[in-house]
Structure 1
Amino acid sequence: LQNTSDLMGSLNLKKSYLFLDEIQLLRNLPTVVKYLIDHYKVKCFLTGSASYYLKNLFTESLVGRKYLFELFPLNFKEFLWFKESNIKLPDNHKTISKPIFDTISNLYEEYLLFGGFPEVVLKKNVSEKKKSLEDIFTSYFQLEILKLGDFRRNKIIRDLILLLMQRVGTKLDIKKLSKELSVSRPTLYRYLSFLEGTYLIKTIKPFSKGRDIEVRKIPKVYLCDCGLANNFAKLDEGTLFENSIFQNLR
């Protein structure tokens, strides 16, 4: 959108479709999109990875004219579909038969080790999968952390990410993390909020019947994809399994 006049000129009276990715990097986008929708027969498909930006900056300008969808890495059923498997898992919670279990065991192990990013799932061998996972993390760090985050100490937040990967499924000890990284608690909370807002991590508080008790309890931390965590932290099978359960229940 460096030259919006060219964009306007390419739209005609017929219905047009505009597809834009990484919209979190375009700060003036809500104004442009609203103008297009108000003055042209255009339908916009906008994708990005910063939930705060997507959910809040369009709040007032497009009331009643927008639909928000959250797309996560594949769950296991979707993973099987991408692998072109004919196996159909039951929709209910019934125990699957032993023949089906034996058939999907290797596939589920692959899912645990390499996760559910479509690009990774479609790679044919281990080295290609690992390379894709490294590329995904590098892209995230460059696009989200360096460009969008505008943090003064990028090494600190990278170290934080690597520590969180190693501690998937454990309680989030803010005091310990603050000491290990030599950052204040307010700064650490800001970093964690950013990582959660860009869909890399998710903190989950234990369930409690009392809301006030639940708020006070220490949350656990999970990663958006078990393959990403495993590639950088070499987690044990039990931890990967727990994170995969989070992915499939999300």
Structure 2
Amino acid sequence: MESYIPRTIETQLYESLTGPIRKVNILYGPRQVGKTSLSDKILHQLGTDKILRLNADAAPDSAVFSSRDPAQLRLMIGNNEFLFIDEAQRIPDIGINLKILHDQFPKLRILVTGSSSLDLANKVLEPLTGRTRTWWLYPMSAQELSSAFGTLNYHQRLEEWLLFGTYPEVVKTPGREDKISYLTELTNSYLFKDILELANIRNSNVLRNLLKMLSLQVGGEVSFNELGRKLGVSTLTIQRYIDLLEKSFVLKVVGGFSRNLRKEITKSQKIYFLDLGIRNALIDRFNPLSLRDDIGALWENFLFIERMKLLRNNQLRGNHYFWRLHTGAELDMVEQTENRISGFEFKFRSKKAKAPESWVKAYPEASFELINTENYLPFVLEPPKK
């Protein structure tokens, strides 16, 4: 694991797998994000060879683990103390079988991964009620990359993160063309193969065109009705596809913040991509920032997702929204944690911004901050205080 970059959730996931409270640990995340590498690192730290590793793509393994037969499961488990199942959503009836394993093998510790929260969650949610601990692994975070390379190096490579994203393989790949080739292949194989197969979608052109349209609307409010009209499908179809893309870790759907003031917009949504490299690959735009007209959208997407990853990776509770009034006053992000509300405006170059008067009047207890390229590092590196 010479090129392995430590992940923020690593220690906490290890402690959950080995601690006194026994749970089925489920690690969600998109393909190629590093779930298997993280799991291998943790399993290696266990210091035992009593580990059963299974790949759900292997037919014999899948057949036994979909059997619901305790005797067959016992034969496979043997005297192993740990069980690791990769891409568990591919095993039929995985939830029932994990319940059997958890309940009938009291010393067995279980770690499973899944690249679709839609598919795997549907299979394990009810059978494993109260028996799971859920973890999320995203493309490399600012906190992880800064720890690995140093804060100065991270900042110097900001344009790289905005253009090519932070999938582990992209980070490790030095050449521009090699990065583009990898992202193009990942987009074609993961987005337009796995997701189509997962949801049994026959019309791939609609999904492809929807993603391209959403790529061009990053940071703007999205109308599902309008998307449906342009693509010639129903609003319900658009909602289904976007829900699928969010649960497959491609998109993040963000709603409007409101405390029921009449002028606040709450029914619209904004769409962000979990990785900007995927977004740029969809529209085949990797030209330098100096030649782009979408820097504002890239910057907003980058900051919004990095802040979300920062809270999630550090196991902090918080919700993120945008805020806008019908009169036009707006904020790019509202962060609501247990004890504070914070408003943020994102500007790539601007050094000055004032909180909208309507925001200050409606939420006098809330803070406001402009985030630009000169002060963004604490925003993406330092978790908010509890």
TM-score bin (small chain): 0.7 to 0.9
**1:248 and 2:306 aligned:** yes
Residue 114 of structure 1 contacts residue 129 of structure 1 at CA under 8 Å; is this kept in 2? Answer: yes
Partners of 2:297 and 2:273 lie apart in 1 by 11
Residue 112 of structure 1 contacts residue 227 of structure 1 at CA under 8 Å; is this kept in 2? Answer: yes
TM-aligned CA deviation for residue 196 of structure 1? 1.4
Partners of 2:127 and 2:264 lie apart in 1 by 35
TM-aligned CA deviation for residue 137 of structure 1? 1.5
1:105-120 equivalences under 5 Å are: 105-120=155-170
Cα deviations by residue, 1:209-238 (Å, 9 ceiling, x for unpaired): 228976743111111111211223227222
Matched length: 233
Partners of 1:74 and 1:60 lie apart in 2 by 31
1:203-218 equivalences under 5 Å are: 203-210=253-260, 216-218=266-268
Letter in 1 for 2:64: T
Partners of 2:262 and 2:132 lie apart in 1 by 34
**1:198 and 2:248 aligned:** yes
Residue 205 of structure 1 contacts residue 215 of structure 1 at CA under 8 Å; is this kept in 2? Answer: no
Q: Which residue of 2 aligns with 1:166?
A: 216
Cα deviations by residue, 1:109-160 (Å, 9 ceiling, x for unpaired): 1111111111211112112211221232123235532221111312211211
Residue 252 of structure 2 contacts residue 273 of structure 2 at CA under 8 Å; is this kept in 1? Answer: yes
Identity of aligned residues (%): 30
1:186 aligned to 236, 247, 251, which one?
236
**1:86 and 2:86 aligned:** no
| Stretch of structure 1 that moved more, 55-64 or 198-207 | 55-64
Q: Which residue of 1 aligns with 2:62?
A: 2
Cα deviations by residue, 1:58-105 (Å, 9 ceiling, x for unpaired): 233223321001111122121233xx3233xxxxxxxxxxxx5xx544
Cα RMSD, aligned residues only: 2.5
1:125 aligned to 156, 175, 188, which one?
175
SS in 1 for 2:271: strand
Residue 93 of structure 2 contacts residue 123 of structure 2 at CA under 8 Å; is this kept in 1? Answer: no
Partners of 1:155 and 1:211 lie apart in 2 by 40
Partners of 1:86 and 1:230 lie apart in 2 by 26
1:4-153 equivalences under 5 Å are: 4=64, 8-15=74-81, 17-40=82-105, 41-81=107-147, 84-87=148-151, 100=152, 104-153=154-203
| Stretch of structure 1 that moved more, 129-138 or 57-66 | 57-66
TM-score (norm 1): 0.82
**Which runs of no fewer than 5 residues in structure 2 stay unpaired?**
1-60, 66-71, 286-291, 309-386
Partners of 2:144 and 2:109 lie apart in 1 by 28
TM-aligned CA deviation for residue 192 of structure 1? 1.3
Partners of 2:134 and 2:261 lie apart in 1 by 28
TM-score (norm 2): 0.55
CA radius of gyration, larger in: 2
Structure possessing the higher relative contact order (Cα contacts under 8 Å, 6 or more residues apart)? 1
Structure with more strand by fraction: 2
